[in-house]
Structure 1
Amino acid sequence: MIRLAKKEDIPRLQELLEQILIVHHQARPDIFKAEGSKFTDKELEAVIGDTNKPVFVYEDENGMILGHLFLMIKEVSENDGPQKPVKTLFIDDLCVDEKARGQKLGEKLYQFALDYAKQLGCYNLTLHVWDDNKGALRFYERLGMKPRYTEMETILK
């Protein structure tokens, strides 16, 4: 079952966020720390309460949270420069517990986000994925996503 996250879910969300950090650290240790979190508990509580940044969790029949989906509703208005007005649903974070992978839970979370975007009347569903995260790239390409743009870098140190 996929449901909105609650304050009581914060400890489990922190565990899943740590798993994501480890994946990012392994791919880019020059950028990502080996431990820590994207949010403090207090920040996470604020995100959970923000209707423009809904957080959903995938919960099994025993009440165990096996994955999460952090979303952001982004809107470009007519007054925002040369771009046409557009409403986008951005996947800020999609995670399936490492012990629950291979059960198509990531696909279920992605499909949920896609359906949610359609319900909101969004033009598109977007996300960022690190180029070194080959597994995530394959996963999203298999689901039909295509690159929107490429950000390049030159490391100076």
Structure 2
Amino acid sequence: MSNEPDDVTNEIAGNGDNDETQSAAAGVHIRRAAPRDIPQLHKLLREVLEVHHRGRPDLFNTGVTKYTDDELAGILADDETPVFGMFAADDATLYGYAFCIFERHENSHILTDITTLYIDDICVDESARGRHVGTALYRHVLDFARESGCYNVTLNVWSCNPGAQAFYERMGLKPYKIGMEQIL
């Protein structure tokens, strides 16, 4: 996966109520993404890129792909980089995904040796927004992280994407570090 942080696209406006999320998710399921899902993953990855490009055209290209098919296949095959997707009941339509990366700081002199599940990228298809897909995916990632013995879940959000930041705050995330820049 890239070292560049990604964030959620302008996400759902759900209130996070669990019963509502479950009813909104009727007829869908979340599973690990597989190589057969690569074309749909590319589509959503382009949606994320366009959100970032609109917010920061000085940093993000447009009309390109983040990964090659081979790179995506490698990510999907690696248990250290799980990718989860929410699919229609017939498994033919991808409504959203969460790209994750296990991070550890073994043998660090300054950081404790914990396991973190870093969410590199969450995206909900534009046509599925407002249906609590992002909430369901995020909760699935939290459950997966707990089951995997993680200490925490982290992510980065671009300041040009306030909708994503608001979504993450509704999910209970709090800032733990802040990136800053000065354009020259």
What's the TM-score, normalizing by structure 2? 0.82
Aligned-partner residue type, residue 133 of structure 1? N
Query: How far off its partner does 1:97 sit?
Result: 0.2
Aligned to 2:60: 32
Aligned to 1:51: 79
Aligned to 1:68: 97
Unaligned runs of 5+ in 1: none
Summarize deviations over 1:23-61 as a string: whole Å, max 9, x none: 000110000012112111110011111110011110012
Aligned-partner residue type, residue 55 of structure 2? A
SS across alignment from 1:121: coil
CA distance in 2, matches of 1:20, 1:103: 18
SS across alignment from 1:72: strand
Q: Could you tell me which of 42, 45, 69 is aligned with 1:41?
A: 69
Query: How far off its partner does 1:10 sit?
Result: 0.3
Aligned to 1:137: 165
**Corresponding pairs, count:** 155
Greater mean deviation of Cα atoms: 111-120 or 59-68: 59-68
Aligned-partner residue type, residue 85 of structure 1? D
User: Is 2:180 aligned against 1:152?
Assistant: yes
CA distance in 2, matches of 1:129, 1:62: 32
Aligned-partner residue type, residue 98 of structure 2? L
Q: Could you tell me which of 36, 39, 51 is aligned with 1:11?
A: 39
Aligned-partner residue type, residue 152 of structure 2? N
Aligned to 2:127: 99
Q: Hey, which bits of structure 1, 4+ residues long, moved more than 4 A?
A: none
Unaligned runs of 5+ in 2: 1-28
Greater mean deviation of Cα atoms: 89-98 or 62-71: 62-71
Q: Taking CA–CA contacts closer than 8 Å with sequence separation of 6 or more, which of the two structures ends up with the larger relative contact order?
A: 2
Aligned-partner residue type, residue 5 of structure 1? A
Query: How far off its partner does 1:3 sit?
Result: 0.6
What's the TM-score, normalizing by structure 1? 0.96
Aligned-partner residue type, residue 118 of structure 1? R
